[in-house]
Structure 1
Amino acid sequence: MFKKLRDQIDNATRQATERAGQDFRWHAAQFQQEAARQGHDIRPQMPTQGMAAQGFQLMNQDPAMVEFMSLPGEEQIRQQGLANQYGQNLRRLHEFGEPATAVVRTLDRTGVTVAAQPQYTSVLDVTRADGTTYRTTVTHLVPDMTFAQYAPGTRHHVRIDRNDPNNVGVFELLP
């Protein structure tokens, strides 16, 4: 009886591992194609068993990640796409945006998570290099581990979209 049960578990584990490998290869190919469209040569590699075990252990300790991983695959991909768009906008702002500083006036959770990252809105008082100031509201992803860095009253280096001054990327915390 025990041997039969053990064999069934082993068989199910092998099948699940194979399906996970197939899913990884499919998602890796999609990621690689999207990266190539953007001019990047990225070759995802299958994680080692130790890396995967450590990753699963860490994921299972984060309730937001557990919730995200329980979503249907299509929703996970949609949210990952949103997170990628957010990151691409930040990268574009960092590279080409107008340097400025900002003071965070509010930090309010929206109740939405994107790829297990909580989304917040913040009211910012932005000061341009020429000394002019304005107030704007931004929506951004703030990982729990960096939440305190965005507390009201904190000052940051920011970058302003030259075509849309309300599109502000919040970067380095200032003393």
Structure 2
Amino acid sequence: MRKQYHPECFTCRMCHRLLAGQRYFQRDGCPTCDTCFQATLEKCAKCQGLITEHIVHALGKGYHPSCFSCAGCGRAIGTESFAVDKQGDVYCVPDYYRKYAAVCSACERPIVPREDEDTYKIECLGRSFHESCYRCESCRMPLSPELTENGCYPLDDHLLCKSCHIHWRNESSC
């Protein structure tokens, strides 16, 4: 600590125990005995062990870097983005989407955002769709998620554009 002490003056700043010849730590520029130093350490929110070196602060808690890991793949998350489910389990983003993302009814792939690109889930008739998959089942024209002329006009659990809806309704009434 680049200071000189008489042996009787070299004491723990917290409990005043003599430190000459003992293991000690520097805490805020002052000598601290092992016991007092250990008492100041944060406990890992996952394993409850003392965190003596690197600490990951997330979700208002402290973790060992290896303990702050994905509940799916077990890989340490570190400084990567992460997601938390309703039970409080932490996931890396790919595993979270793999487990919880809605699946598109048309292409049967998960509806997940791509890097630097917003992704919207369109829901209709209790089903989910990618924007690009939300199309008329008859003519394949893209449907607008808005309530407009280009929107969806469902008939018998089918997604239809306005003209196909009229055509199908007229055919079924003959």
Structure showing the higher strand proportion among its residues? 1
TM-score grouping bracket, smaller chain normalisation: under 0.3
Structure showing the higher helix proportion among its residues? 1
TM-score by length of 2: 0.26
TM-score by length of 1: 0.26
Structure whose alpha-carbon radius of gyration is higher = 2
